[in-house]
Structure 1
Amino acid sequence: MKISKNTLSILKNFRDLNSNILISKGSLLKTLTPAKNVMSSATVTESFPVEFGLWDLTSFLGTVSLFEDPDFNFKDKYVDIVGSNGSTVKYFYSEPSLLTVPTKDVKMPESVVSIELTEEAFSELKKAAAVLNLSDLSICSTDGSSIVAILSDIKNNTSNTYSIDIGYNESGNVFNFDFKIDNLRIIPGNYDVSFAEKIVSQFSNKNLDLNYWIALESSSSFTSTVGSNIGVS
């Protein structure tokens, strides 16, 4: 079988979340950070014929990059990666018990805030965070009208900040959802983002069947003024 470029891109992204992975039989890929504060799942076009573990995703992806468009012949204990000229790598699987894997699916609590985060806006924020050496991102509406993304160092009251407007809060509710920038390792794209009250967020890619569940920091807050979900336009 072949593995598409899209699926390899997802595996490269999952490598940034966790260096190992257990791939189940079928089309659903899942990963979990060692700290268990970020989980991701993706449904891909391929259907893997066996369950197999990869201890070092960097090594596996590097091996795949040796070939232009290889075939993958999955066996019980290893996969043969075969190039167009017949060159072959026998790549052995890892013992599943050694891997950090999700043991259950995330049951997203009821959403209290929903926004759209564009690829352009997120790229701007990531670049600014790197240039200004800022570790925290806050999605907030402190005036009950505009929704702003603010970069800062929450532990430093005199840190530099960087902010952009990302939407309008029609409900008037007040909220502040905090993330560590290092936890926002998502594939570039446009996302629908929903927030459960002070617990967890869900980033859903608009073009791929790809979701991330990212824990909110304990400094997050939400105050409802109307007792209903927020709509953002």
Structure 2
Amino acid sequence: MKISNDTLAVLQNFATINNGIQVKAGNSLKTISPNKTLLGLATVPEHFETPFCIYDLSQFLGTLSLFNSPELDFGEHAVEIVEGETRLRYVYADPNTIVTVPEKRLECDGDIEFDLPHKSLESLKKAANILGLPNLVIMTDEAEEYLIASATDVKNSTSNNFKVKLDGETPSGDTFKMVLKFDNLKLIPDDYHVRISSKGISHFDGTKAEYFVAVEQNESEYTASQ
């Protein structure tokens, strides 16, 4: 089996979320952050016949970079990486050493729904990085006519903030301030359709992967219209 560039991109992204990964038989890849605030899922072109675990995904990807276009033979206890006269045996990890994704799929019944283009998300992240702002806030504007995404610090009333208008919908008359952490937004660069539930979870659905991201409930507010 050869690993496609698209799958390598997914694995490189997942390594930033959790450096260990459990791969089950099939064509789905899943990961979850150690503190369980970010879960990523992707469907890939390859079909893995043998389940396996990698303890250090960054090291494994670095190992693959030693080759140009290797064949990977996934055995019971290790994967053999072969190219020409070169062969490398990479041993799997014990599943007990990996923080694994729960079997039950998460669901997000979105009270708030909007599109978040790659350009807007990158602008928000860049502003957050330059200004030292830890939070992404999704809220109604003061006139409650449209949605706003803001990079800010919700624990600092004098914080700088950077705002972007969003194309989305919310139930008429509802007011809210839904708070996420940029540290949890380790997403593959892409356009995303986003749903946020007042129950404390958000779903970012892209063309390459999807993510469930925790909402900071202690800082968030949602008031439904009467």
TM-score if structure 1 supplies the norm length?
Answer: 0.91
Aligned-pair Cα RMSD in Å: 1.4
Matched residue type, 2:49 = P
Give the corresponding residue for 2:65: 65
Give the corresponding residue for 2:105: 106
Give the corresponding residue for 1:53: 53
Distance 1:168 1:115, change over 3 A: closer
Task: State the identity as a percent.
Answer: 34
Alpha-carbon offset, residue 216 of structure 1: 0.1
Give the corresponding residue for 2:8: 8
Matched residue type, 2:179 = D
C-alpha distance in structure 2 between counterparts of 1:168 and 1:37, whole Å: 24
Give the corresponding residue for 2:163: 163
Matched residue type, 1:180 = K
Whether the 8 Å contact between 1:148 and 1:163 is mirrored in structure 2 is yes
Alignment of 1:1-233 (within 5 A): 1-83=1-83, 85-142=84-141, 143-167=143-167, 169=169, 171-205=172-206, 207-208=207-208, 210-218=209-217, 219-225=219-225
C-alpha distance in structure 1 between counterparts of 2:159 and 2:16, whole Å: 27
Matched residue type, 2:72 = F
Matched residue type, 1:2 = K
Whether the 8 Å contact between 2:108 and 2:202 is mirrored in structure 1 is no
C-alpha distance in structure 2 between counterparts of 1:109 and 1:82, whole Å: 42
Whether the 8 Å contact between 1:3 and 1:46 is mirrored in structure 2 is yes
Matched residue type, 1:188 = P
Alpha-carbon offset, residue 104 of structure 1: 2.2
Distance 1:168 1:74, change over 3 A: closer
Which whole-Å deviations, capped at 9, do the CAs of 1:42-66 have from their partners, x for residues lacking one? Answer: 1111001101000000100000011
TM-score if structure 2 supplies the norm length?
Answer: 0.94
Alpha-carbon offset, residue 103 of structure 1: 2.1
Q: Which moved more, 1:44-53 or 1:155-164?
A: 155-164
Count matched residues.
Answer: 223
Alpha-carbon offset, residue 144 of structure 1: 1.8
Matched residue type, 2:150 = I
